[in-house]
Amino acid sequence: MQTVNIHEAKSQLSRLIEAVVNGEDVVIAKAGTPVVRLVPVEGKPKLRFGLMKGKIRIAKDFNAPLPADVLATFEGQ
């Protein structure tokens, strides 16, 4: 783990970011006391098709017309 003071972090931010991206731990300290830790932002999770397979069921009558009383509620009659 690399610990740097705020002044050094300001002047070498690009190098510190590169170190974090490459897996190194970087802590920024104020007057020698650790204050924050730099961490990489997690990437956007990849879409995985089939993840919910077997967990979602669509009824056979999904596209069937609505009953008249329900339809009237939507149409404001």
Does 32 have pLDDT greater than 80? yes
DSSP tag of 44: P
Between 29 and 47, whose confidence is greater? 29
User: Burial letters for 20-54: b for 16+ Cβ neighbours within 10 Å, e otherwise?
Assistant: beeeeebebeeeeeeeeebeeeeeeeeeeeeeeee
- Note if the pTM is more than 0.85: no
Domain ranges of the chain: 2-38
Is residue 24 pLDDT above 80, yes or no? Answer: yes
Q: What is the pLDDT confidence band of residue 77, given thresholds at 50, 70 and 90?
A: low
The DSSP bridge pattern shows strands 2-5 and 33-38 to be: unpaired
Task: Please give the CATH superfamily to which domain 2-38 belongs.
Answer: YefM-like domain (3.40.1620.10)
Helices (H), the chain: 6-11, 13-21, 68-75
